[in-house]
Structure 1
Amino acid sequence: HGPTLLFSRQVNGKERKFYACSAYRDRKDCPFFLRADEKLSNSSTWKERHPDALISINHKQIYSDFLAFKSLPLKNRKFCHTCFTFIFSSDKLTHENHCVTEKVSDTLLTYPTNLIKPIESSKKEAQFWFSESSKNFIIDSLKNIGATSCLCIGTPTIHELLRQTNVNSVLFDIDKRYHYFYNEDEFCWFNMFNCYFLSNAEKCQQVLKKSLSGSVTVVIIDPPFGARIESLSNTVHFFQQLSTTNLNIFLVLPYFMETNVIKSFPNFVMLDYQIQYSNHKKFQNNVESKKKRSAVRIFTNISLTLKMPETEGYYYCPDCKCWRYKNNKHCKFCKICPSKNGDLYKHCHKCSKCVKQTWIHCFKCNHCCIPSHNCYFPGQDLDTSRKH
């Protein structure tokens, strides 16, 4: 999966550094592992540690099959999920007892995320599709800034929608299944963490340069939640060097990764908009999930004045001059809207800062805490601390 990354972990109290796959955290998915102090002596050793994980893909032939499949009458269109391939009359017996979708419509072929099954592994390219409301917000935001070109990295549902607009869209994704639905000018097999094209690199470089040459270019990235931000920032900075204009970036990550994001992207700000996923049990747009708000946000170098839907509980804060979630009220003492997680906050005059609505000021600890906290005094053994 391209150049590896240097990792470290504690083993018996000592730091051990090693090289491993940048995209897959589980060695069952990519077994490459090399200690930092170990040398590869020859090419045969490399081959032993680097199995042929990257299969040869004939993109032109696969897309030719797609066009042939699309020309078939609806009743003859069948797709095998077991083999992940289009079924033609000559090989239909091969797919008996397989998981097959029949009468594959033009709509499913235009929006393949409604046809293919999302990958569910949490340690590789686990896939979560944006909800309808989140997709609409992103598309509307692109329209509002006058986007002419968009590079969708790990965001296939956005690419599907942009193809129906005047925005030139290209999908870069580590999921090779999209070879089956898009031609060489629309999809590139790509590892976002080491900026590596996994096939047809020369053509993909051309596609990348063309995509970055738009007058108003946007890059939308939806990485795994445990993403290595520093390696991702190298990819973004490389794109910026290739671009003739300043790139507009949308980076989708949980709010609690803000510190790490700002370290690598110091000019980024976090929007209040809460990204929902249609197939994520914690971040779905349904009654049960609304009891706990989504932790996923958009980090961007675009102005905070991006309009957010009032129907979803957002309002314009005239003091901050940007859109906020309804629970994020402006504090006249701190002079900010303090909430990042979507909870209500209140100002504590004794602490001189805003804290969660459910917290109380503890005079023994001399700061605000949850009501059931353990009081701790300097010099006191933690095991003997008293609980309220």
Structure 2
Amino acid sequence: MYSGCLSLSHQELETFGGQLQCMALFAEHCSRVKYLKFIELPLSQRKFCQRCQQLLLPDDEEKHRKHQIVGDISITQLKRPSQLLYPLENKKTNAQYLFADRSCLFLVDLLSTLGFRRVLCVGTPRLHELIRLKASGDKKSNIKSLLLDIDFRYSQFYMEDSFCHYNMFNHHFFDGKAALEVCRTFLQKDKGEGVIMVTDPPFGGLVEPLAVTFKKLIAMWKEGQSQDNSHKELPIFWIFPYFFESRICQFFPSFCMLDYQVDYDNHALYKHGKTGRKQSPVRIFTNIPPNKIILPIEEGYRFCPLCQRYVSLENQHCEHCNSCTSKDGRKWNHCFLCKKCVKPSWIHCNICNHCALPDHSCNGPKDGCFICGELDHKRSTCPNIFTSKKVNNTLFFRAVRKRKQRKSNKMKMETTKGQSMNHTTVTGKKKRREKAHQYLCS
């Protein structure tokens, strides 16, 4: 459909892009109009097509007659769309894992305890719906939420002021300036006070583009700040695996990692309650001082008076490092040669001069560039990268030629062998016929 776009001029591309944006706006507007009509229907007429993942009005039923349809959709179900919609499960593009209720309820209670009144939910649809659900059922709760998410299906369930179709990897609002202004207004309300951003990006995404996007959202929030508050930071909860700690802190030095294990409903591995390496590796990175965040004691978290923060039960304070050093929930051991704590499965290697797994390979560079071994740059910026690629290509094509040659030789051998066998068979038959003829004649 879009193959002809490459031949369009810049002006035509802008026009084409504008038309696509108008189509998207129209589609989402229709979805929201449909929602308003849908909630006015009696319970018996409220239906949802599981195949098409959309709400159905009475006029739509004939088109979906052969599909799997769920009826009697209640208002409670409409308030929990993440349970009504199938999670996206394409791991290469848009795998969608949803918080378990345990983690979601913890976050909602924590945000309320910390005194936040507005939550910008970037890629956290279940947290968004639970905040709204609590606000509608509890008159004392005054927390509001705005969801920014790539999943356009949520536009069926939320109005423009509570959902924006958004791509967090390039800071793109699919609904254009209108959605951008909704987000800006949400962040800058009350001069930016009482707002926090909670984000749960796909774990396969690169940290750098995400950091660039989040800094743009921070800049948007800072536009509403006075000069006196220019030193302040937008409070953030970034939910990501613990092994990305160094990369996240590279872009946000004020962030620290909490010990709380975040788990998901529809992920086989990221579950709370498991021990050792099987437990969830997902943590919360935040610029909020950790001594202000209370983790649930009933789940095995305890307060370390020396570190002034809550840690997991197995995370023991190391007197040599003067810190609770464990990152993955297991008890780490202090290595006096490395002068730091390491994972319990690691041992000190005298060849590499640092701790690693017992079966690791000592060959090749461990830090810096993987091509030349220098420590002042990475592989992507190595001056020898083109030489390396050329060598690799030469080796690759040489290997391909050898493989083809071996295959050709094998085919020739089989052909020769077949011909030899055929010759032997013909000769054997001829001798048997001659012997039979001699026997009959004798």
TM class by shorter-chain length? 0.7 to 0.9
* Higher relative contact order, structure no. (Cα contacts within 8 Å, ≥ 6 residues apart): 1
Correspondence 1:202 to 2:202: no
Deviation at 1:162, TM superposition (A): 1.2
Secondary structure at the counterpart of residue 283 of structure 2: strand
Correspondence 1:93 to 2:93: no
Amino acid at match of 1:65: K
Structure-2 residue corresponding to 1:22:
none
Structure-2 residue corresponding to 1:187:
163
Contact 1:365/1:377 (CA < 8 Å) preserved in 2? no
Which residue, out of 45, 57, 64, partners 2:25?
Answer: 57
* 1: CA distance, partners of 2:282 / 2:342: 21
* 2: CA distance, partners of 1:327 / 1:61: 53
Amino acid at match of 1:260: R
Structure-2 residue corresponding to 1:223:
201
Q: Cα distance 1:55–1:329, how it changes in 2: closer, same or farther (>3 A)?
A: farther
Deviations 1:40-79 (A, max 9, x none): 9645688999995995233343222112212222222110
Q: Cα distance 1:203–1:130, how it changes in 2: closer, same or farther (>3 A)?
A: closer
Amino acid at match of 1:102: G
Q: Which moved more, 1:349-358 or 1:339-348?
A: 349-358
Secondary structure at the counterpart of residue 277 of structure 1: coil
Structure-2 residue corresponding to 1:19:
none
Correspondence 1:292 to 2:278: yes
Deviation at 1:272, TM superposition (A): 1.1
Q: Which runs of 5 or more residues in structure 1 are unaligned?
A: 1-27, 379-388
* 2: CA distance, partners of 1:271 / 1:251: 11
Structure-2 residue corresponding to 1:257:
244
TM-score (norm 1): 0.79
Higher helix share: 2
Secondary structure at the counterpart of residue 318 of structure 2: coil
Correspondence 1:241 to 2:241: no
Structure-2 residue corresponding to 1:14:
none
Structure-1 residue corresponding to 2:103:
134
Contact 2:302/2:310 (CA < 8 Å) preserved in 1? yes
Correspondence 1:175 to 2:151: yes
Contact 2:34/2:57 (CA < 8 Å) preserved in 1? no
Q: Which moved more, 1:48-57 or 1:306-315?
A: 48-57
Correspondence 1:333 to 2:320: yes
Q: Cα distance 1:184–1:372, how it changes in 2: closer, same or farther (>3 A)?
A: closer
Secondary structure at the counterpart of residue 218 of structure 1: strand
Deviation at 1:108, TM superposition (A): 0.9
Contact 1:219/1:247 (CA < 8 Å) preserved in 2? yes
Deviation at 1:371, TM superposition (A): 4.2
Contact 1:134/1:276 (CA < 8 Å) preserved in 2? yes
Structure-2 residue corresponding to 1:125:
94
Q: Cα distance 1:344–1:209, how it changes in 2: closer, same or farther (>3 A)?
A: same
Runs of 4+ in structure 1 deviating by more than 3 angstroms, as ranges, are 30-34, 39-55, 358-378
Amino acid at match of 2:123: G
* 2: CA distance, partners of 1:82 / 1:148: 37
Secondary structure at the counterpart of residue 36 of structure 2: helix
Pick the structure with greater CA Rg.
Answer: 2
Deviations 1:239-284 (A, max 9, x none): 2223235311111111111122112112111111111011011113
Deviations 1:103-148 (A, max 9, x none): 1111110010010111111122321110111112211221121001
Contact 1:212/1:239 (CA < 8 Å) preserved in 2? no
Which residue, out of 342, 348, 355, partners 2:335?
Answer: 348
Amino acid at match of 2:279: R
Deviations 1:346-370 (A, max 9, x none): 2233443222223344567655444
Deviation at 1:231, TM superposition (A): 2.3
Q: Cα distance 1:376–1:177, how it changes in 2: closer, same or farther (>3 A)?
A: closer
Over aligned residue pairs, what C-alpha RMSD do you find?
Answer: 3.2
Deviations 1:79-111 (A, max 9, x none): 013233322223322112212222111111001
Deviation at 1:321, TM superposition (A): 0.4
Contact 1:278/1:285 (CA < 8 Å) preserved in 2? no
Amino acid at match of 2:168: M
* 2: CA distance, partners of 1:364 / 1:60: 64
Q: Which moved more, 1:191-200 or 1:366-375?
A: 366-375
Aligned identity (percent) is 37
Q: Cα distance 1:329–1:210, how it changes in 2: closer, same or farther (>3 A)?
A: same
* 1: CA distance, partners of 2:295 / 2:288: 14
Structure-2 residue corresponding to 1:7:
none
Structure-1 residue corresponding to 2:390:
none
Instruction: Give aligned pairs, total.
Output: 345
Deviations 1:10-33 (A, max 9, x none): xxxxxxxxxxxxxxxxxx9x9999
Contact 1:40/1:46 (CA < 8 Å) preserved in 2? no
* 1: CA distance, partners of 2:364 / 2:208: 38
Correspondences of 1:18-37 after superposition (within 5 Å): none
Q: Which moved more, 1:247-256 or 1:86-95?
A: 86-95
* 1: CA distance, partners of 2:34 / 2:284: 37
Q: Which runs of 5 or more residues in structure 2 are unaligned?
A: 136-141, 226-232, 366-442
Correspondence 1:304 to 2:282: no
Structure-2 residue corresponding to 1:381:
none
* 2: CA distance, partners of 1:124 / 1:361: 39
Secondary structure at the counterpart of residue 204 of structure 2: coil
Correspondences of 1:371-382 after superposition (within 5 Å): 371-372=358-359
Higher strand share: 1
Contact 1:328/1:345 (CA < 8 Å) preserved in 2? yes
Deviation at 1:372, TM superposition (A): 4.5
